Structure 1
Amino acid sequence: MPRKNVLPLAGKPLIAHTILAARESSLISRVVVSTDDAEIAAAARDAGAEIVWRPADLAGDMAKSEDAVLHVLGELESNEGYSPEITVMIQCTSPLTAAEDLDGTIGKLIDADADTALAVTAFHYFLWQNDAEGEAIAVNHDKSFRLMRQQRTPEFVETGAVYAMRTARFREVKHRFFGKTVLHETPPERRLEIDEPEDFRVAEERFGRLRRSREAALPARPSAIMMDFDGVFTDDRVFVSETGEESVVCSRRDGMGIERLRGLDIPMVVISKEQNSVVAARCRKLRLEHHHGIDNKLALARDWFADRGIDPKNAIFVGNDRNDVECMTFVGTAVAPRDAHRSALDAADIVLDADGGRGAIRLLADMIEAKQAGDH
C-alpha cells in the first residue's frame, strides 16, 4: 500500500498511533523514528517523536528492520554519546498496540532477566502442510488424536508489534532474537498488521467498536468516582528495603488523569485497606480525599455518599480485588484494571485496556472526557 504509514486511521496518520502508545509508556524514555521521507517525518514529529534520517542504502524494500535500528543507535551514540540499556523496536503497521503492550514486553524482559522479549497472542489453531507428494501433514498436533484446547500445550503467535532487546548485545549480533527470549502475551483483539486496504477497514471498525462499547457503559456524567489504591494506582507490587521501609510504583499518567477528572468537577475519593502511609502520601500529592487502613470499605462508602447527598447509582468504583467487589456492586458502574483479580473482573461493567499502576486511571479519564464530548 503506497504511503500507508501516513494514511489516516481513526483520525490520525497510521504512524501516529504507535508513537502515541510509546509516549504513554511508563518504561520508554525516548521515541525515535527512522525514515528517509519528509512526509513521514512531519507526521512523526507531530505525534511527538524525534527523527533520525535513514540513508538510501537502508531505505529499500529489502532493507532489514534491524539495520535501520542499528543505524539509529549508531547515530545517537556518535552524535550524543547516548546508548540506552534496552532498545524497543515497534512496528508502526500495528496501530492497535497499546502502551500496556510495550510496558508488558519490556517489563517481562527485565523481570525475567532476559536478553530479548516479544509480544505474542495465544494461538489455538491446528496447522497443516503438504509434503513433497502432496499429502497433508499435521504440523502442531497428532491428527489421530485431537486434544481439547485445555489439554494442549499453549502456543503463541508473534504479533509483529513489539520487540525488546538488550542494546549492547543487539549491536553485536545484529538481529532481534538472541540469548534468553521471553514472551509477553497481549490480547488477541490488538493483533493486527496493516498490509492491505482491508486491514485499514478492520482497524477502523475495531477502534470504533472499542470506543463505543466502553463509553456506552459509563454514566453520562458520573456523580462521583471511588477508587482502591493498591492494584489501581499501583501494579500491586511492594518494594521492601533492608530497613523494612516499603515503597510502590505509580504512573505519572494516572496523575494527569486525576487532573483531567478534577477539571470535570467530579468528586473523587480513594478508599484503601492498606495501612502503609504511602497511600496518604501519594493521595496528598494528587490532592485526593483518601481513607486508608479501612477494613469495611462498603460501610465507609455508604456513609460517604449519604453525607454528601450523592446518588451511588450514578457513581463509579474502580477496584481490583475481592475486598472491592461489594463496593463495585453497590455503585452504578464498576470498573477494573485489566490485570485485576478474577472476582473483580467478574464484577466489572468495564474492564480497562490497561493494568493497574500503568495508566488505568488515565484511560478512564480519557473515556469519561470522550463520553461527555459525545453527549454534547
Structure 2
Amino acid sequence: MTTLAIIPARGGSKGIPRKNVLPVGGKPMIGWTIEAARAARSVNRVVVSTDDPEIAAIARRFGAEVVDRPAELAGDSASSEAALLHTLDVLRDGDGYEPDRLVFLQCTSPLTAAEDIDGTIAALERDKADTALAVVPFHYFLWKHDGGGDGVGINHDKRTRPLRQDREPQYLESGAVYVMKVAGFREAKHRFFGKTALYEMPSERRWEIDDPVDLEVAEVLLRARSKAEKQSLLPEKLDVLVFDFDGVFTDNGVIVLGEGQEAVVCSRGDGMGLELLRKAGWPMVVISKETHPVVSARCAKLKIECIQGIEDKLPTLRRWLDERGFALERTLYVGNDVNDLSCLTAVGCPVAVADAHPEALRASRIILESPGGRGALRELADLILSSESVRQASPPSSSS
C-alpha cells in the first residue's frame, strides 16, 4: 500500500499574515508538519501544495516536494479538497504516480506528531474503513438559543448533569489529520465518504493556529515538548560533564583589540547554569584546543577545571576519566566543531550547540536549541537539573 501525504499551504492569510511560515518553537510553522509527515512510518511521499514561493522554498528545505497550486485554487473560497485533487492529478499526469491512500495534513496544527499520522492510517485499516480522522475526547456541554430566548442543551438534557464517566464518549475533530482511500476520494471529491474510522490523539496536540494568541500557546507547548524529548535522550546515569570552550562557552567569535590582544564574548546566563550544576555536585571539566589566558580566567571564575592546548582530545579525556574512576559511556560531552568529533563519537551522551558544524551535529544525540556562548550551557543545565530521571552515577574521587 502506497501512502501520499499532502499539506495544502496557500500564501494568503488575512487573520495572521504569512501564517504558514511564521516561526513557532524555533522553526517555520509548516516545518513541524513536514517533519512529522516525513517521520511517519506509513507515509511514502510528502508533498506541499502552494501558490507561494516563500512557502515552496521552506517546504523544499524541510524535505518535501512541491506542487505549484494555480491561483483559482488558492483563494479564500477554494476548498482543501480541490487542492488535494489538483495535486493528485499533477502527480498522476506528470510521473504516473497514483497512491492507494491519501493523508491530508493541516500545517496550522504544528503539534501533530508522526504517531498521530501513523495512528490515523492504522485506524483506517483496523476498521476496514474508507476514511479516517484524528479526534480528541470532548467532555463539554454545548448550548444554543432556541429562537425564543431560551438556552437549550445540544448534546445534553439541561435538566440532568451526568458525571463525565457516565456520559457517552464524544469526540472533537482535531483538524490535524485526515486519511482517505484515493479511489473513493476521487469519486466523492470530499474528505468523508463511506465508513469513517476515528483515531484518538492526545488533547494537548490538538492546538490549531487561527489567531495570534494561538501562536503564543503553541510556542509554549512546542518548547515544552522539545525539552521533554531532549530530557528523554539523557542517560539515566552520568558521571561527568565535559566541555569544549570556543564555540561552547563563547559564540565562536573573537574581538581583536588595537594592541593585538584578544577577547571573547560569554553568557552570564551560561555562567549561572554552570554554577547551579557545580553546586548540585556535578563534576565538570573543560578540554580546549586553544591556549589562552581568557580560557583560564573564565574557568577559574566558574571554578571548573580546565585543560588547554590539546590537539587530540580523546586520549586526554580518557586519562582524565580513568584517574577519577569515571566511565566514558557515562560521560556527557558538549562540542561544536570537527576537533570535537573523536570525543563526541566516543562518549555515552554527545551534545552539540545549535550552531555547531554539520558533522558535529550529526555525531550528537542531543542538539541544543541555543547557540554556543548564547545560552546553550544554561539550556543544558536546565535540562539536567529539571530531569527526574538523570542522576550522577559515581561520586568524584579524592583526586579530582
TM norm structure 1: 0.60
1:198 aligns with 2:213: yes
Q: Any conservation in 1 of the 2:25–2:220 contact (CA below 8 Å)?
A: no
CA separation of 1:65 and 1:133: change in aligned 2, threshold 3 A: same
1:69-125 CA-partner distances (Å, limit 9, x unpaired)? 000001111111110000010000000000000000011101211000000000000
Aligned amino acid, residue 380 of structure 2? D
Aligned to 2:222: 207
CA separation of 1:145 and 1:366: change in aligned 2, threshold 3 A: farther
Aligned to 2:260: none
CA separation of 1:221 and 1:103: change in aligned 2, threshold 3 A: same
Aligned amino acid, residue 60 of structure 1? G
> Which of 31, 50, 59 in structure 2 is aligned with 1:16?
31
Aligned to 1:30: 45
Q: Any conservation in 2 of the 1:214–1:367 contact (CA below 8 Å)?
A: no
CA separation of 1:19 and 1:214: change in aligned 2, threshold 3 A: closer
CA separation of 1:107 and 1:151: change in aligned 2, threshold 3 A: same
SS in 1 for 2:198: strand
1:78 aligns with 2:93: yes
Distance in 1 between residues matched to 2:20 and 2:195, nearest whole Å: 32
| Higher mean C-alpha displacement, 215-224 vs 57-66 | 215-224
CA separation of 1:53 and 1:215: change in aligned 2, threshold 3 A: closer
Cα drift, residue 220 of structure 1: 6.6
SS in 2 for 1:165: strand
Aligned to 1:148: 163
CA separation of 1:214 and 1:80: change in aligned 2, threshold 3 A: closer
Distance in 1 between residues matched to 2:234 and 2:51, nearest whole Å: 47
Distance in 1 between residues matched to 2:236 and 2:46, nearest whole Å: 36
Distance in 2 between residues matched to 1:310 and 1:86, nearest whole Å: 52
Cα drift, residue 375 of structure 1: 2.5
1:183 aligns with 2:198: yes
CA separation of 1:90 and 1:367: change in aligned 2, threshold 3 A: farther
Distance in 2 between residues matched to 1:130 and 1:57, nearest whole Å: 38
1:119 aligns with 2:124: no
1:132 aligns with 2:153: no
Aligned amino acid, residue 70 of structure 1? L
Question: How many equivalent residue pairs?
Answer: 241
Aligned to 2:249: none
Larger Rg: 2
1:284-323 CA-partner distances (Å, limit 9, x unpaired)? xxxxxxxxxxxxxxxxxxxxxxxxx999xx89xxxxxxxx
Aligned to 2:339: none
SS in 2 for 1:82: coil
Cα drift, residue 144 of structure 1: 1.2
Distance in 2 between residues matched to 1:66 and 1:146, nearest whole Å: 40
SS in 2 for 1:31: strand
Equivalences for residues 179-328 of structure 1 within 5 A = 179-213=194-228, 215=230, 219=234, 222-223=237-238
Distance in 2 between residues matched to 1:154 and 1:140, nearest whole Å: 11
CA separation of 1:198 and 1:55: change in aligned 2, threshold 3 A: same
CA separation of 1:23 and 1:222: change in aligned 2, threshold 3 A: farther
Aligned to 2:310: none
Q: Any conservation in 2 of the 1:35–1:54 contact (CA below 8 Å)?
A: yes
> Which of 116, 120, 125 in structure 2 is aligned with 1:110?
125
SS in 1 for 2:31: helix
Q: Supply the RMSD in Å over aligned alpha carbons.
A: 2.6
Q: Any conservation in 2 of the 1:223–1:310 contact (CA below 8 Å)?
A: no
1:4 aligns with 2:19: yes
> Which of 169, 188, 192 in structure 1 is aligned with 2:184?
169
SS in 2 for 1:204: helix
Distance in 1 between residues matched to 2:69 and 2:234, nearest whole Å: 48
Aligned to 1:282: none
Distance in 2 between residues matched to 1:366 and 1:152, nearest whole Å: 49
> Which of 71, 74, 77 in structure 2 is aligned with 1:62?
77
5+ residue gaps, structure 1: 225-308, 316-364
Distance in 2 between residues matched to 1:210 and 1:68, nearest whole Å: 31
Distance in 2 between residues matched to 1:214 and 1:77, nearest whole Å: 38
Distance in 2 between residues matched to 1:85 and 1:29, nearest whole Å: 11
Cα drift, residue 143 of structure 1: 1.2
Aligned amino acid, residue 184 of structure 2? R
Aligned to 2:54: 39
Distance in 1 between residues matched to 2:126 and 2:80, nearest whole Å: 26
Aligned to 2:271: none
Distance in 1 between residues matched to 2:228 and 2:26, nearest whole Å: 19
Aligned to 2:392: none
SS in 1 for 2:124: helix
Aligned to 1:49: 64
CA separation of 1:124 and 1:221: change in aligned 2, threshold 3 A: closer
Equivalences for residues 290-369 of structure 1 within 5 A = 368=366
Aligned residues with identical type, % of pairs: 54
1:44-73 CA-partner distances (Å, limit 9, x unpaired)? 100111011111110101100000000000
SS in 1 for 2:175: strand
